[in-house]
Amino acid sequence: MKRKTSNILQLVGIYGSLLIMFIIILYPLFWTFGLSLNPGSSLFGADMIPDNWSFKHYKWLFTDPDSDYLIWYKNTLIVAFAASIGSTVLVTLVAYAFSRYRFVGRQYGIFAFLLLQMFPVLMAMVAIYILLNLVGLLDSLLGLILIYIGGSIPMNAFLVKGYFDTIPRELDESARMDGAGHFRVLFTIMLPLAKPILSVVALFNFMAPFMDFILPRIILRSPENYTLALGLYNFVNAQFANNFTRFAAGSILIAVPIAAIFLMLQRYLITGLTSGATKG
């Protein structure tokens, strides 16, 4: 009887904690969506469930000549897809080399990856600004893409290397006995088995440009090059600006491409999130 009561209390505690976290996560989201439906533009006096709700702010974002929202959305998608694809390709090649090859400096390279993860990106902002200015890539999407790709390598390469280490080497040896080369082994054996962790890397690098504000703020200067985070910030930061409802509408739409990519990769994500970094 006591054991049954204990199990019931544990279930109540687990589901109660999940319910609390569910409310904490969804409450701001519901407020943001409700704010975007308010007919006015001010944050004060807005209701979570407005009486005279309207989609006019969403319409304004896409149809008004004064709105650069579509340009910002296009810029963000370009950066997100380029950073995601570029990071995944480079991380895969680096992780494969560290996992399967033995070369001088290999151990130090792994330690360097661990060391670089300990320092926040903000520490390199001045160096990044000066470097991009010297090569003429300041205020350009290409410069932003290169920084995202380069910054993703240490953490993700170490993660993918750990996943590659869990794949038996006997598979590589069998393929080489049949005449397969290094790239044949990578593309026909390693990559199909590593889809879960590569999906995680692709998704996280795709999400970064949508969420990041500081790096675009430092690199980008022209409004036509802004990403969504930087452009939407001006809705509430510019002089005499009070466009909180438009800001909320634009923020809600950010979730659309992220949700679409997540749904495409969801069958691989659970396995990938619980794997990797298990072997050194």
Q: pLDDT by residue (tens digit) across 239-257?
A: 556 678 888 888 888 888 9
Between CA 95 and CA 32 the distance in angstroms is: 40
Residue labelled with tokens 């209701």: 47
Task: Extract the tokens encoding 122.
Answer: 């903000």
Burial label for 88, CB within 10 Å (0-12, 13-18, 19+), is buried
3-state helix, strand, coil in the chain (%, to 5): 75, 0, 25
Q: Mean pLDDT in runs of 10 for the chain (280 residues)? A: 74 87 86 82 69 84 85 94 94 90 83 78 83 90 92 87 86 81 83 87 92 90 90 73 80 88 79 47
Task: Extract the tokens encoding 265.
Answer: 């990769």
pLDDT at 276: 43
Determine the Cα angle at 138 with ends 134 and 143, to 5°: 100
CA distances from 4 to 12, 14, 21, 265 (A): 12, 15, 26, 39
Residues in the chain, total: 280
Nearest to 53 by CA among 41, 38, 31, 40: 38
- pTM of the entire predicted model: 0.85
CB 2 within 8 A of CB 19: no
